[in-house]
Structure 1
Amino acid sequence: MKTNKKLLGEERRLQLLELLKNRNEPVTGNELAKISNVSRQVIVGDITLLKARNEPIIATSQGYLFMKQVENTVQAERTLGCSHTPDRTEEELNLLVDLGITVKDVRIEHPVYGNLSAPIMVSNRGEVQQFIAKINKTNASFLSELTEGIHFHTLLARSEQALDEAETALKKIGLLI
């Protein structure tokens, strides 16, 4: 779908929106830039403008994602509080995705900045591995490190029963607050 000519303004944003709507996985800013023949910074601006129009686009650690794709299968949503050290993050996320849960985001309650959140959007072990690899590659900290391990996840599932199972499993391994 790469174009040889540089797409301008609204035409480019419409193309980006269509591309994101038709993908089932996140698309990186670099990939969108190559397709549109513009810089990644231009893409960041375009995504900001699309989000300002209330397009359900989120930035995840794997790239940009059009949210309606996930919402089609989601019947239940719940926020759970967890507490653990950074070395248990992969275990926590794998446990959840193995139960068919999508981990939408992570949120902390910072004593100075208030509520801080970041999208995660992992639904399988491959996405968990990508997320952990990106944290390790960039030497970034987990948000939970700012609050001594205490954090909250918004979980998405096909049923309340699946969320109940996830809550029980997290409690069983000592991660649930």
Structure 2
Amino acid sequence: MSESKKILGEERRSLLLELLQKAGQPITGGDLATKANVSRQVIVGDITLLKARGEPIIATSQGYMYLANNVPSPIAERIIACCHTPERAEEELCLLVDYGVTVKDVKIEHTVYGDLTASIMVSSRKEVNQFIKKIKSTQASFLSQLTDGYHIHTISAPSEKNLDEAVEALREAGFLVE
């Protein structure tokens, strides 16, 4: 395939699926667009079509991920409610990942739109730093800013002990809503 040749339709979607399945980690829309020599917007449409066909693809803050290639599911999962200012978001996420926890998503209850969920999928300080850097560089708002800091996370870890320790640390830091 030449660098300048666009990959069209189903061939491109097959390529995207193959790339995501083999990656084992998120790939940005921009990287996928470069590989297929199309715009990022075309990739967004392709991913939407693939999801509609039942492919287990999620959009995370680091890019698109194919879920079937992930490490085996953690043993423990929990939903927690938190509240804090935007300035403390990095501290909250770092605290969680330091206990071996993956922060899968953030959810809020919006007065007009109802429940809004965004995938985060951070498991390390490096991923937290990338997430925060992206928020700052795009001047995006945290979802929790729409609800005066209140939000819910789905968290997972290899054991209930990891989750218990992380939740206790959140409580001590004043993040947990009980």
Q: What TM-score results when the alignment is normalised by the length of structure 2?
A: 0.93
* Pairwise CA distance, 1:80: 0.3
Asked if the contact 1:2–1:37 (Cα under 8 Å) also holds between the matched residues in 2, the reply is no
* Pairwise CA distance, 1:41: 1.3
Q: Could you say what secondary structure the match of 1:128 adopts?
A: helix
How many pairs are equivalent? 177
Q: Which residue of 2 aligns with 1:123?
A: 123
Task: State which drifts further: 143-152 or 158-167.
Answer: 158-167
What is the rounded CA distance, in whole Å, between the counterparts of 2:2 and 2:163 in structure 1?
Answer: 41
What is the rounded CA distance, in whole Å, between the counterparts of 1:111 and 1:89 in structure 2?
Answer: 22
Q: Which residue of 1 aligns with 2:168?
A: 168
Q: Which residue of 1 aligns with 2:95?
A: 95
Residue identity matched to 1:25 = Q
Q: Which residue of 2 aligns with 1:5?
A: 5
Which 4+ runs in 1 deviate beyond 4 A?
Answer: 1-4
Q: Which residue of 2 aligns with 1:21?
A: 21
* Pairwise CA distance, 1:71: 5.5
What is the rounded CA distance, in whole Å, between the counterparts of 1:67 and 1:33 in structure 2?
Answer: 20
Instruction: Give the fraction of aligned pairs with identical amino acids, expressed as a percent.
Output: 63
Q: Which residue of 2 aligns with 1:153?
A: 153
**Aligned-residue RMSD, C-alpha:** 1.6
Q: Which residue of 2 aligns with 1:110?
A: 110
Listed as ranges, the gaps of 5+ residues in structure 1 are: none
Q: What TM-score results when the alignment is normalised by the length of structure 1?
A: 0.94
Q: Which residue of 1 aligns with 2:85?
A: 85
Listed as ranges, the gaps of 5+ residues in structure 2 are: none
Q: Could you say what secondary structure the match of 1:21 adopts?
A: helix
User: Superposed, which structure 2 residues align to 1:67-82 within 5 Å?
Assistant: 67-70=67-70, 72-82=72-82
Residue identity matched to 1:51 = K
